[in-house]
Homo-oligomer: A and B are copies of this chain.
Amino acid sequence: MDIRPLYDRILVKRVENPIKSKGGLFLPESASEKPSEGEIIAIGQGRLAEDGTVKPLAVRVGDRILFSKYAGNEIKIDGEERLVLREDEVLGIVEA
């Protein structure tokens, strides 16, 4: 089952964010907190402007993004948790 988000919404799969300490060690994040990092797996057709035109988004499918932990709507697709965000809720793009 695929989901096509509408307008400026994007579909995101949360990814674990392994914490690399200064010394190069990887520490797991607190298990009780969902990661606020994810990969974009689908994007809408663009932001709807006030005049009814649709403007392209700045994010792309495959982008790794950061978002606020309270952002978006949780949905389930084939039993897997996904997140639907608005592009404006994306704090930044991770450049590896």
Residues of A within 8 A of B (CB): 1-7, 9, 11, 17, 19-22, 27, 29, 36, 42, 44-45, 47, 49-53, 55, 58-59, 66, 68, 73, 75-76, 78-80, 84, 87-88, 90-96
Contact = CB atoms under 8 A, between A and B. Distances in A.
Contacts of A78: 19-22
**Chain copies in the assembly?**
7
B91 A73 contact: yes
A90 B95 CA distance: 24
A92 B20 contact: no
A76 B6 contact: no
A5, A44, A51, A79: which has the most chain B beta carbons within 10 Å? A79
A91 B75 contact: yes
